[in-house]
Homo-oligomer: A and B are copies of this chain.
Amino acid sequence: MAALEPSEKPISTIVIIIAMQAEALPLIKKFQLSETHDSLFPKGVPWIRYHGIYKNLHINLIWPGKDLSFGVDSVGTISASLVTYASIQALKPDLIINAGTSGGFKAKGACIGDVFLASDVAFHDRRIPIPVFDQYGIGARKIFSTPNILKELNLKEGKLSTGDSLDMSPHDEVSIVANNATLKDMEGAAVAYVADLLSVPAILVKAVTDIVDGDKPTAEEFLKNLVAVTAALDVAVTQVVDFISGKCLSEL
Contact = CB atoms under 8 A, between A and B. Distances in A.
A1 B210 CA distance: 62
B130 A164 contact: no
Contact of A70 (B85, B132, B167, B197): B132
A44 B199 contact: yes
Q: How many copies does the complex hold?
A: 2
Contacts of A193: 78
A137 interface: yes
A235 interface: no
Given A85-B85, A164-B126, A165-B126, A190 B78 contact: yes
A136 B70 CA distance: 6
A51 to B, nearest CB: 21
Nearest to A78: B81
A70 B164 contact: no
A133 B171 contact: no
Query: In the complex, which range does the number of interface residues on chain A fall in?
Result: 35 or more
B127 A167 contact: yes
A86 B170 CA distance: 35
Contacts of A228: none
Contacts of A171: 169-171
Contact of A127 (B68, B128, B141, B165): B165
A75 interface: yes
A190 B81 CA distance: 12
A222 B193 CA distance: 27
A165 B128 contact: yes
A86 B81 CA distance: 12
Contacts of A129: 166-167, 218-219
Interface in A69-85: 69-78, 81-82, 85
B68 A125 contact: no
A128 B165 CA distance: 5
Contacts of A44: 197-199
Contacts of A77: 77-78
A222 B129 CA distance: 11
Contacts of A128: 75, 165-167, 219
Interface in A123-159: 123, 125-130, 132-133, 135-137, 139, 141
7 contacts: A68-B197, A69-B139, A77-B78, A78-B193, A128-B165, A169-B169, A169-B171
